[in-house]
Structure 1
Amino acid sequence: MNGKQKLKGKNILLTFDDGFNSNFLIAEKILKKLKIKAIFFVPSDFIKINSSSKARIFIKKNILDQILPSDFNFVKNINTTNLKKLIKNGHLIGAHTKTHANLALISDNRKLKNEIINSAHNLEKLLKIKIKHFAFTYGNYESISKKSLKLALAQYQFIYSSLRGNNFKNFKNDIIKRDAIYLEKGNKLLSIFLSGILDMRYFFQISNINKFIKKMYNK
């Protein structure tokens, strides 16, 4: 995207959202063996919680908008120590707002800045790193407002959505597309996603976002 390197062949970037401790377990038990590096997007308020019960309250209120998993009583947040271990092992940490808010529903500039900008500052202070990556919570077209996108672009080098598609021909500042993986659906559906069959469904939404970005930078 920065024009520094040309990709050849098949390339995949793995990302993990929301800051669950299970993300860390996957990195330790699977990614390490396969020598795969990933980006972990975490809400800055969530990772600072030191109580499992408080973490589950946060999850119910801010993250899970669906039926709770059967093992919910064992679900917890990743902590700062494990995030630092991920960084030491070569992974990247990205911002994912402060509270996992739907940014398109926020009109107040102060609240938006708190979610988008201050979340990065909090992570940088905690982890002693520079945060260059930001993933929109929910990440669908309806959750990405122009106001929130403008703020995010001013703070971060790379912006991620949850709109499906291939990033092989992305230009600098383009919104990054991602294929969401559903663990309970199996590899057959995953192969359909990665084949690109469904990409056209998101083509016009992605085009609209990238047109706004280009217009903003051309001013």
Structure 2
Amino acid sequence: MSLKHRLLAAAYHPLRIGNILHHQVSGQSSGRLRVLLYHGISPQEEEHFAAQLRWLSRSWRFINLPQFTAMLAGKENVTEDSLLLTFDDGFTSNRRIVENVLNPMKIQALFFVISNFVDLSEKGEWRSFVTQNIFPGMKSKDVPAHWQNMTWDDLSYLLETGHSIGGHTTNHARLSQVASTELVAEIIGGADVLEKRLGVEVDHFAYTFGDLHSFSPAALEVARSRFKYVYTGLRGDNARGVNSWAIRRDAMAATNSFSLMGALLEGGADRLYANSRAEYDSWSRLVCPT
């Protein structure tokens, strides 16, 4: 664990106590609304991941996608601290996690899928895709087996068991580096393929890599022309004043300690993303005037 993460973990209890006291003094009756972001989870991490969810369930309520969108729109009150669980990229470990952990715990998640990644079927293609698109520069021999792509049958199983599918581009391109003439194909084309193959509406989109510099106002404008909901990789609470095209998410790893996860959800790192959130919101006002 890095020094920054050790300090955050150590701050968990003071942060939690401070938030409880602030809640009591301010008289706020509403809770918080945050979104967890995971990627692939190895078989060796599965037990700890399940323990993370059990620990979180002691203080937070896991909600499904319809509940989340209703809360975001103000149609349902956020009366308690609530979490939406999401996964990016479409790794095969997601199917295993659904079967072994999420379904038994009755937790429904949102999976953001790269359309050309899930479409791979030839042996070894997925390793090349990972090293060229998802983790550029990684050597093929270093790509773990649980990063293989889910299949269309896997995605159908996720839908059949109550989970949701969102768009995550066509090729996992860094959208800030994509020519404006190609943004529609990369952002919208992938979601259209998902809809056609799966027979469901794809209204949710998460841009790749998650940081502000991997997105752009032009990419946001294209995404907003197609999707009702756009998810970032910027940490923060979604309970008050967050638009549907600027959803905050908290990146987590299955190896994180409980204290580190708790500190992040108590907002321990939110200030580090304040400038990025403000700049992103300025894009939103430009391309999505109210």
TM-score range, shorter chain: over 0.9
**Residue 13 in structure 1 maps to residue 84 in structure 2:** yes
**Residue 165 in structure 1 maps to residue 165 in structure 2:** no
Q: Which residue of 2 aligns with 1:30?
A: 101
Report the TM-score, using the length of structure 1 for normalisation: 0.92
Aligned ranges 1:8-157 → 2 under 5 Å = 8-65=79-136, 72-73=144-145, 75-109=147-181, 111-157=182-228
Bigger-Rg structure (1/2): 2
Report the TM-score, using the length of structure 2 for normalisation: 0.71
CA contact (8 A) 2:90 2:112 kept: yes
> Per-residue deviation at 1:139?
1.1
The counterpart of 2:276, out of the listed 179, 198, 205, is 205
* 1:73–1:218 CA distance, 2 compared to 1 (3 A): closer
Deviations 1:137-181 (A, max 9, x none): 001010110000110011101100111111111444340111111
**Residue 192 in structure 1 maps to residue 263 in structure 2:** yes
The counterpart of 2:251, out of the listed 158, 180, 184, is 180
Percent identity of equivalent pairs: 33
Within 2, Cα distance between the matches of 1:196 and 1:175?
17
Gaps of 5+ in 1: none
Which structure carries more relative contact order (alpha carbon 8 Å, separation 6+)?
A: 2
Within 1, Cα distance between the matches of 2:252 and 2:137?
16
* 1:142–1:195 CA distance, 2 compared to 1 (3 A): same
Gaps of 5+ in 2: 1-71
CA contact (8 A) 1:173 1:213 kept: no
Deviations 1:20-58 (A, max 9, x none): 000111111100011000100010000011134111111
CA contact (8 A) 2:221 2:288 kept: no
> Per-residue deviation at 1:8?
1.2
> Per-residue deviation at 1:182?
1.9
Within 1, Cα distance between the matches of 2:97 and 2:88?
13
Deviations 1:86-121 (A, max 9, x none): 111111100000000000011232x11111011111
* 1:182–1:65 CA distance, 2 compared to 1 (3 A): farther
Within 2, Cα distance between the matches of 1:171 and 1:122?
29
Task: Please give the secondary structure, in 2, of the residue aligned with 1:119.
Answer: helix
Q: What is the CA RMSD across the aligned residues, in angstroms? A: 1.9
Paired residues in the alignment total 218
* 1:52–1:189 CA distance, 2 compared to 1 (3 A): farther
Task: Please give the secondary structure, in 1, of the residue aligned with 2:124.
Answer: helix
CA contact (8 A) 1:52 1:76 kept: no
